C-alpha cells in the first residue's frame, strides 16, 4: 500500500491535469446553478416586474391591456427565439452582420452541448429572457392606443429583424464585437435598441387622444413601485448573470448594479424635489430604473466609483428626458421608454468607454485608464445601433400597418378604454 500522502498527491496531480485538458468543454455545476438562477431572475422581470411597473403607470381603463401585451410579447418572443431567433443571433457567420439558420429549432443543441462552462440550453434560455424584455420595453411608448393584433405582428418582426442582428453584432461574434465595443449586459442590444424603436413606433402611432390637454393619471403608483422593486431584484440576474460564471466579475457586477440603482433613485428624487417642490414615489422608482439602465453595459467593467457616477448621472438624464425633453419636442412616449431606456442606455454605453477598468476585466480599459480610443469605439457602436434600430423599426412598422390595416385602435375604443373593449375585462370595479 502506498502511503496516504503519496496517494493524495497523485490524486491532486491527476485532477489538475484532467481539468487542464477538459478546458471550457466541461460543465461547472456552480456556474450552471448560478446562470440557471439568473435566468429565472431575468424571466421574472418581464411578466411580473415590467408588467407591474408599466401597468401601474397606465390609466385604470387600460391596465389589463398593458399587462396582456407584455405577457403576449413574452410568449411570442420565447417561441421566436428557440425556433429561429437564437440561430440568427448566435449562429456562426462570416458576414459579421447576422447569424445563420443552422440552429433552427435548436438543431444540434442537446443536453450534452456546452457553452463555456454551462449547458448550451441554459445559455439559450438566458439569452431568450433578454430578447423578451427588450421587445416588452418598447410597449411603454405606445400604451393606451395600439391595436393588440398590430402589437403581435410587430413583436415577431422586431425580434427577428431588429433584435437578433444587434445581438449578433455585440454578443454573437459580429462586427461590434470584432471592433472591441464593450456591452456587458445590453446597453446597445437591449436599452438603446428598445428605446429608439419605442420612439419610432410612438411617432408612427401618434399621440393619445387628449394628450397635453387632459390629465393622464397613473392607475396605481403602488403597482409601479412594486414593479420597480421586482425589476431591481431581477436586474442582479440580468447584469451579474451576464458573467456566465459564478466568479469575481459576477460579484462585482452585482455590487455596482445595486449601487448605480440607488444613486439613480437618489439623483432623480432630489432633482425632482428641487424642480417641482415634491419628492414623488413615481420619480424615485423611475430614477432607480434609470440607474439600472445606465449601469447595464458597464456592469462587468467598472469599479464602485464608476458605478456611483454612472448611476447619479443616469438619474439626472432620465429626469431631463421625461420632464423636459419630451415636452419641448412634443412626442408622446407614454411611459418614457425612450426617455429612460434610450437616453440612459446611450449614456451608459458611452460611460463604459470612460470608466472601464482593467482591474475588473483584463483587456477592458477606458479613457480614465489610458485608453481614449475606447470612447470612440463606444460612440460608433451607439450611433450604429441608433440608426439601424430607427430605420429597421420604421420599415417593420410600415409592414405591420399594412398587414393589420392600421396600428391604432378606433377613437371610441381608445376613449372608452382598451380593457373592456378589447378583452372584456376590467382591472378595477368602479362604482
Per-residue pLDDT reduced to its tens digit, 299-322:
999 999 999 999 999 999 999 999
Q: Could you give the CA distance from residue 112 to residue 5 in angstroms, rounded to a whole number? A: 36
Q: How confident is residue 12, by pLDDT bands cut at 50, 70 and 90?
A: very low
Number of C-beta neighbours around residue 135 at 10 A: 28
- As a whole number, mean pLDDT of residues 69-75 equals 98
- As a whole number, mean pLDDT of residues 393-412 equals 97
Answer whether residue 319 is part of any domain: yes
pLDDT attached to residue 246: 98
Query: 264 pLDDT exceeds 90?
Result: yes
Q: How confident is residue 95, by pLDDT bands cut at 50, 70 and 90?
A: confident
- As a whole number, mean pLDDT of residues 407-427 equals 94
Q: How confident is residue 6, by pLDDT bands cut at 50, 70 and 90?
A: low
**Cα Dmax for the chain:** 91
Query: 24 pLDDT exceeds 70?
Result: no
Residue-wise pLDDT for 162-203, tens only, equals: 999 999 999 999 999 999 999 999 999 999 999 999 999 999
Phi and psi at 118, nearest 5°, equal -130, 160
22 vs 413, higher pLDDT: 413
Q: Are 66 and 425 in contact (CB under 8 A)?
A: no
pLDDT attached to residue 136: 98
pLDDT attached to residue 78: 98
pLDDT attached to residue 14: 44
Q: Could you give the CA distance from residue 149 to residue 47 in angstroms, rounded to a whole number? A: 19
Answer whether residue 2 is part of any domain: no
Answer whether residue 20 is part of any domain: no
Q: Any idea how long the chain is?
A: 431
Angle in degrees, CA 201, 203, 204, rounded to 5: 65
pLDDT attached to residue 5: 52
Pairing mode of beta strands 114-115, 118-119: antiparallel
- As a whole number, mean pLDDT of residues 245-256 equals 98
pLDDT attached to residue 355: 98
Nearest to 84 by CA among 70, 74, 98: 98
pLDDT attached to residue 351: 98
pLDDT attached to residue 427: 86
Residues 29, 31, 32, 35: what is their CA dihedral angle, to the nearest 10 degrees?
Answer: 160
CATH no. for residue 46?
Answer: 1.10.3430.10
Q: How many domains, in total, are found in the chain?
A: 1
Residue-wise pLDDT for 274-291, tens only, equals: 999 999 999 999 999 999
Answer whether residue 8 is part of any domain: no
413 vs 7, higher pLDDT: 413
Query: 39 pLDDT exceeds 90?
Result: yes
Quote the domain boundaries for residue 60.
27-423
Residue-wise pLDDT for 319-336, tens only, equals: 999 999 998 999 999 999
- As a whole number, mean pLDDT of residues 3-32 equals 58
Residues in CB range of 251: below 8 A, 6 or more apart = 240
Answer whether residue 14 is part of any domain: no
pLDDT attached to residue 4: 57
Q: Could you give the CA distance from residue 113 to residue 26 in angstroms, rounded to a whole number? A: 10
Answer whether residue 429 is part of any domain: no
Answer whether residue 121 is part of any domain: yes
Q: Are 397 and 407 in contact (CB under 8 A)?
A: yes
Angle in degrees, CA 99, 102, 246, rounded to 5: 70
Nearest to 53 by CA among 293, 237, 229, 272: 229
Query: 122 pLDDT exceeds 70?
Result: yes
Answer whether residue 192 is part of any domain: yes
Q: Could you give the CA distance from residue 161 to residue 155 in angstroms, rounded to a whole number? A: 10
Amino acid at each position: 500500500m502506498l502511503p496516504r500522502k503519496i496517494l493524495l498527491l497523485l490524486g491532486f496531480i491527476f485532477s489538475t491535469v484532467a481539468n487542464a485538458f477538459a478546458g471550457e468543454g466541461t460543465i461547472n455545476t456552480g456556474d450552471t446553478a448560478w446562470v440557471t438562477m439568473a435566468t429565472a431572475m431575468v424571466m421574472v422581470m418581464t411578466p411580473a416586474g415590467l408588467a407591474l411597473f408599466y401597468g401601474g403607470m397606465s390609466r385604470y381603463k387600460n391596465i389589463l391591456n398593458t399587462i396582456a401585451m407584455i405577457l403576449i410579447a413574452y410568449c411570442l418572443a420565447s417561441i421566436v427565439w428557440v425556433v429561429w431567433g437564437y440561430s440568427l443571433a448566435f449562429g456562426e457567420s462570416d458576414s459579421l452582420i447576422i447569424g445563420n439558420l443552422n440552429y433552427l429549432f435548436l438543431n444540434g443543441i442537446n443536453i450534452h452541448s456546452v457553452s463555456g462552462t454551462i449547458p448550451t440550453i441554459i445559455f439559450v434560455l438566458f439569452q431568450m429572457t433578454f430578447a423578451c424584455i427588450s421587445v416588452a420595453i418598447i410597449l411603454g411608448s405606445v400604451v393606451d392606443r395600439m391595436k393588440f393584433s398590430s402589437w403581435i405582428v410587430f413583436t415577431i418582426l422586431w425580434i427577428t429583424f431588429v433584435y437578433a442582428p444587434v445581438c449578433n453584432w455585440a454578443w454573437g461574434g459580429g462586427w461590434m464585437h470584432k471592433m472591441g465595443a464593450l456591452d456587458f449586459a445590453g446597453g446597445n442590444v437591449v436599452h438603446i435598441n428598445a428605446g429608439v424603436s419605442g420612439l419610432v413606433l410612438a411617432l408612427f402611432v401618434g399621440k393619445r387622444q387628449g394628450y397635453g390637454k387632459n390629465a393622464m393619471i397613473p392607475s396605481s403608483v403602488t403597482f409601479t413601485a412594486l414593479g420597480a422593486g421586482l425589476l431591481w431584484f431581477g436586474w442582479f440576474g440580468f447584469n451579474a448573470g451576464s458573467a456566465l460564471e459564478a466568479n469575481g466579475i459576477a460579484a462585482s457586477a452585482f455590487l455596482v448594479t445595486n449601487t448605480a440603482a440607488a444613486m439613480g433613485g437618489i439623483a432623480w428624487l432630489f432633482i425632482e424635489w428641487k424642480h417641482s417642490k415634491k419628492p414623488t414615489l413615481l420619480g424615485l422608482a423611475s430614477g432607480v430604473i434609470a440607474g439600472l439602465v445606465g449601469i447595464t453595459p458597464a456592469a462587468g467593467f467598472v469599479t464602485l466609483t464608476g458605478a456611483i457616477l454612472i448611476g447619479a448621472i443616469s438619474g439626472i438624464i432620465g429626469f431631463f428626458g421625461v420632464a423636459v425633453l419630451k415636452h419641448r419636442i412634443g412626442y408622446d412616449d407614454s411611459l418614457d421608454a425612450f426617455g429612460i431606456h434610450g437616453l440612459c442606455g446611450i449614456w451608459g454605453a458611452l460611460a463604459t468607454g470612460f470608466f472601464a477598468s482593467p482591474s475588473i476585466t483584463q483587456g477592458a480599459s477606458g479613457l480614465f485608464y489610458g485608453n481614449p480610443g475606447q470612447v470612440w469605439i463606444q460612440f460608433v457602436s451607439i450611433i450604429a445601433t441608433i440608426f439601424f434600430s430607427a430605420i429597421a423599426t420604421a420599415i417593420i412598422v410600415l409592414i405591420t400597418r399594412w398587414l393589420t390595416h392600421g396600428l391604432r385602435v378606433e377613437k371610441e375604443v381608445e376613449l372608452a378604454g382598451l380593457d373592456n373593449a378589447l378583452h372584456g375585462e376590467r382591472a378595477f370595479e368602479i362604482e
